[in-house]
């Protein structure tokens, strides 16, 4: 099979879908791997490293899209990429379709087989291709929030860990899956006072067992959340209902109750956001202020640490990519139920229930 790895063109996106080691494994399996020139540059990977791994370097994206049977990407295609997609071509990437009707329509028109990293799910309900980026984004969320809490960034001017005789920052984390638990880890590690909310008591029990009294775990409902965020310095949103649009865990009323300079980091923005009326931001302009509260809602946080993120991503996607390349979409999915749950689009139709529920009027 011909596997294509284009250069990502989304603003601020420096990751690439495959490391030279991953390309080499596919080549060893007998496949041809096409890598667009400069695709790895943002992650500090030179074209020559791909060449040494056995990949073929391709100058023009048009040529790569035309020849590839399996396209490996990081982010969803942008409008300039839509015309290059081919009917029946496999597209294996983060799609986040529940947040964009325009994208769904474009991909249905293109007739691709869309397999979304974020909905590949194992029998024990793990999301193995979301986990590595969630770990990165969760750790980054606390790191970034600490930065925006500084006065010259418009924050309340509170130090995460406080100092002797002065209390630390109050951090609220909503949703304690992979993102949330990693945000808790870094915030608690910096010495902040952390309240962690979830509706899954197993996640809360994990935090209790891990951190004891250093982290307060709380069952999430809007009453207790409203009380906590009004007193918080930092609110990190990380709730997820797999494949579906994120629920609004933070309402506008709650935001109005927060103190000026409080920082919200809505990591769930790639699924529409768990903060009412939040707008996606970019690495170029990561924050805006509304009701005196700093909002950070970058949809591709891991792109800020591409070297770490690219390697973590390939570590997780490679085994599935090898299966798709060896067997083709239909057989690979028949053999692997986790991969089958990644199928979002095929034959011009939506194939994932949660995506369908988000846009019931579409095919
Ligand atoms: N912006 C980015 O760059 C970026 C990067 C990685 C992940 N994400 C996103 O972060 C979000 C979280 O990802 P994850 O891997 O941690 O998912 P996860 O499934 O591991 O965790 C989500 C948690 O939310 C909890 N939850 C659901 N509804 C809730 C509610 N009403 N109140 C409190 N908790 C609730 C679930 O029980 C679960 O524990 C996803 O939307 C994911 O796409 C964004």
Domains located in the chain, CATH noted:
2-120+306-358 (3.40.50.720), 134-304 (3.40.50.720)
Predicted local distance difference test score (pLDDT) of residue 363: 66
353 annotated active-site: no
Predicted local distance difference test score (pLDDT) of residue 12: 82
C-alpha–C-alpha distance, residues 121 and 32, integer Å: 28
Q: What string of H, E and C letters represents the secondary structure of the chain?
A: CEEEECCCCCCCCCCCCCCHHHHHHHHHCCCEEEEECCCCHHHCCCHHHHHHCCCEEECCHHHHHHHCCEEECCCCCCCCCHHHCCCCCEEEECCCHHHCHHHHHHHHHHCCEEEEHHHCCCCCCCCCCCHHHHHHHHHHHHHHHHHHCCHHHCCCCCCCCCECCECCCEEEEECCCHHHHHHHHHHHHCCCEEEEEECCHHHHHHHHHHHHHHEEEEECCHHHHHHHHHCCCEEEECCCCCCCCCCCCECHHHHHHCCCCCEEEEHHHHHCCCECCCCCECCCCCEEEECCEEEECECCHHHHCHHHHHHHHHHHHHHHHHHHHHHHHHHHHHHCHHHHCCEEEECCEECCHHHHHHCCCCC
Predicted local distance difference test score (pLDDT) of residue 270: 85
Predicted local distance difference test score (pLDDT) of residue 352: 93
Contact 45, 16 (CB under 8 A): yes
Nearest-atom number in ligand 1 for the CA of 249 is: 31
Q: Is the CB of 103 under 6 A from ligand 1?
A: no
Quote the ligand 1 centre to 313 CA distance (angstroms): 18
Flag whether pLDDT at 358 surpasses 70: yes
How many CB atoms sit inside 10 A of residue 239's CB? 25
Which residue has the least CA distance to atom 29 on ligand 1? 239
Quote the ligand 1 centre to 36 CA distance (angstroms): 32
Flag whether pLDDT at 1 surpasses 90: yes
Give percent of the chain above pLDDT 90: 90
Write down the catalytic residue from 31, 96, 295, 352. Answer: 96
C-alpha–C-alpha distance, residues 184 and 144, integer Å: 13
Segment 142-170, tens digit of pLDDT: 999 999 999 999 999 999 999 999 999 99
Segment 257-271, tens digit of pLDDT: 999 999 999 999 988
C-alpha–C-alpha distance, residues 151 and 182, integer Å: 25
Kindly report the average pLDDT of the chain as a whole number: 95
Flag whether pLDDT at 248 surpasses 90: no
Segment 213-238, tens digit of pLDDT: 999 999 999 999 999 999 999 999 99
Measured CA distances, 238 to 2, 42, 118 (Å)? 37, 27, 14
Give percent of the chain above pLDDT 70: 99
Q: Is the CB of 175 under 6 A from ligand 1?
A: yes
Quote the ligand 1 centre to 268 CA distance (angstroms): 6
Segment 191-216, tens digit of pLDDT: 999 999 999 999 999 999 999 999 99
Predicted local distance difference test score (pLDDT) of residue 338: 98
Which residue has the least CA distance to atom 11 on ligand 1? 268
Segment 332-348, tens digit of pLDDT: 999 999 999 999 999 99
Q: Is the CB of 246 under 6 A from ligand 1?
A: yes
3-class secondary-structure state, position 6: coil
Nearest-atom number in ligand 1 for the CA of 247 is: 31
C-alpha–C-alpha distance, residues 248 and 261, integer Å: 21
Quote the ligand 1 centre to 117 CA distance (angstroms): 15
Write down the catalytic residue from 198, 233, 266, 270. Answer: 270
What kind and span of H or E run contains 226?
Answer: helix 222-230
Most informative mutation of 239, 282, 308 for ligand 1 (most atoms within 8 A of CB): 239
Which residue has the least CA distance to atom 33 on ligand 1? 198
Nearest-atom number in ligand 1 for the CA of 246 is: 41
Predicted local distance difference test score (pLDDT) of residue 240: 86
Segment 84-122, tens digit of pLDDT: 999 999 999 999 898 789 999 999 999 999 999 999 999
Q: Is the CB of 77 under 6 A from ligand 1?
A: no
Exposed (0-12), middle (13-18) or buried (19+): which is 213, by Cβ within 10 Å? exposed
Predicted local distance difference test score (pLDDT) of residue 181: 98
Quote the ligand 1 centre to 133 CA distance (angstroms): 11
Which residue has the least CA distance to atom 38 on ligand 1? 177
Residues sharing a CB contact under 8 Å with residue 223, sequence separation 6 or more, in sequence order = none
Enumerate the β-bridge partners of residue 264. Answer: 235, 295
C-alpha–C-alpha distance, residues 180 and 134, integer Å: 8
Predicted local distance difference test score (pLDDT) of residue 28: 98
Segment 61-86, tens digit of pLDDT: 999 999 999 999 999 999 999 999 99
Flag whether pLDDT at 125 surpasses 70: yes
Q: Is the CB of 243 under 6 A from ligand 1?
A: no
Q: What is the DSSP letter of 55?
A: P
Contact 302, 136 (CB under 8 A): yes
Predicted local distance difference test score (pLDDT) of residue 67: 98
Segment 277-318, tens digit of pLDDT: 999 999 999 999 999 999 999 998 998 999 999 999 999 999
Q: Is the CB of 304 under 6 A from ligand 1?
A: no
Q: Is the CB of 179 under 6 A from ligand 1?
A: yes
283 annotated active-site: no
Flag whether pLDDT at 243 surpasses 70: no
Predicted local distance difference test score (pLDDT) of residue 214: 93
């Amino acid at each position: 099979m011909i596997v294509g790895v284009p250069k990502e063109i989304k603003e601020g996106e420096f990751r690439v879908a495959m490391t030279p080691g991953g390309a080499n494994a596919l080549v060893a399996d007998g496949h041809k791997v096409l890598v667009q020139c400069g695709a790895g540059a943002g992650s500090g990977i030179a074209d020559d490293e791909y060449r040494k791994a056995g990949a073929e370097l391709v100058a023009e994206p048009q040529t790569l899209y035309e020849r590839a049977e399996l396209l490996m990407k990081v982010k969803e295609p942008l409008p300039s990429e839509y015309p290059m997609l081919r009917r029946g071509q496999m597209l294996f990437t983060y799609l986040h379709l529940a947040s964009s009707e325009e994208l769904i329509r474009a991909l249905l028109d293109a007739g691709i087989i869309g397999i979304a990293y974020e909905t590949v799910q194992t029998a024990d309900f793990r999301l193995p291709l979301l986990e590595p980026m969630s770990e990165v984004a969760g750790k980054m969320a606390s790191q970034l929030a600490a930065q925006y809490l500084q006065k010259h960034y418009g924050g309340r001017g509170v130090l995460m860990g406080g100092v002797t005789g002065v209390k630390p920052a109050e951090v609220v984390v909503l949703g304690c899956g992979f993102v949330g638990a990693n945000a808790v880890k870094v915030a608690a590690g910096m010495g902040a006072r952390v309240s962690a909310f979830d509706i899954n008591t197993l996640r809360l029990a994990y935090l209790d067992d891990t951190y004891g009294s250093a982290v307060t775990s709380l069952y999430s409902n809007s009453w207790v959340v409203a009380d906590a965020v009004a007193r918080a310095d930092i609110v990190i949103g990380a709730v997820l209902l797999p494949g579906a649009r994120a629920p609004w865990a933070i309402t506008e009323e709650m935001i109005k109750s927060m103190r000026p300079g409080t920082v919200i980091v809505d990591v769930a923005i790639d699924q529409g956001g768990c903060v009412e009326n939040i707008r996606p931001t970019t690495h170029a302009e990561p924050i805006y202020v509304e009701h005196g509260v700093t909002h950070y809602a970058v949809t591709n946080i891991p792109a800020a640490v591409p070297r770490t993120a690219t390697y973590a991503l390939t570590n997780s996607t490679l085994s599935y990519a090898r299966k798709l390349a060896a067997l083709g979409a239909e057989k690979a999915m028949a053999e692997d139920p986790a991969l089958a749950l990644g199928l979002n689009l095929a034959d011009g139709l939506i194939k994932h229930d949660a995506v369908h529920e988000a846009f019931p009027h579409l095919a």
